[in-house]
Structure 1
Amino acid sequence: MQIKDFATKYQIQADTIRYYEKENILTPKRRENGYREYNEECEKQLQFIIVLKQLGFTIKEIQQLLQLRDQPISTECNVSTVSLLGEKIISLEENIQFYQKALQVVHKIKDLIDEDKYVRNQGVIEELMLGFFTDTQARRIR
């Protein structure tokens, strides 16, 4: 399959696929004419990349995981993989907490606005928003 069909199948831009190749996380075969050929192995690789991206892994982290995956099984490799995954778990848990708090704030604001109560609750809403803004700024600093 050529890049256009491959990109269409996975609903991503051809430039994104080229970027993944440049970053050595996707390696299609090359035909004699220089065209890329995306086979079943490339599909599995792209599916892996898509899942990791959806989980919040950076390109650098994906590169590390792929390098670890391609190494012979060893204690050192296992420790590195577990460490990288442990860091991602902490990050995901922090994101979950953030979105839970964001959801609570949005629910409160909705309730404060519902049934034409905005004018009466405008100050409370502004305090909620300011508090949430302060929380998000503190989160960015970490």
Structure 2
Amino acid sequence: MRTLAPYLHPAFQAAVLLLGLWVLRLGLGVRRARAGPPGPARARLAGRHMRLARWFVGLLALGYLLGLAGMGLALGEPLLRTAHGYFATLALALLALTAWLGRRLRLHPGREDFRQIHAYAAFLAIFLCLAVAFLGMNLLP
């Protein structure tokens, strides 16, 4: 029987990516809700978006480290030698930027420039994560 170890990182990241798509959906809901009057529903939506976004970034970073460990320790391959590794690093950096901008928005809610860059960086990061998933498929045994 073949070992399941090579599939641990992809399975974990697929689940985390689903969480990321949900966080993106919540963020778009917050964006739409900003057009209306402030209220408890909007605050709950924003709070849920922020809580799940923290989990998403943390779990994606953990999955990134699992991928590095899988390549380096389990397979004995050089780290970040594939397009999958390079673009995963870029996606994680974009998510870190998105998280930093989200934190700035909490401290300075009137900064529309932060809000726009946060939205674009988040969308680009999620899109890049999806592309990284497809790039990783050809690395599976």
Same fold (TM over 0.5): no
Q: 1 or 2, which has the higher helix percentage?
A: 2
Normalising by structure 2, we get a TM-score of 0.34
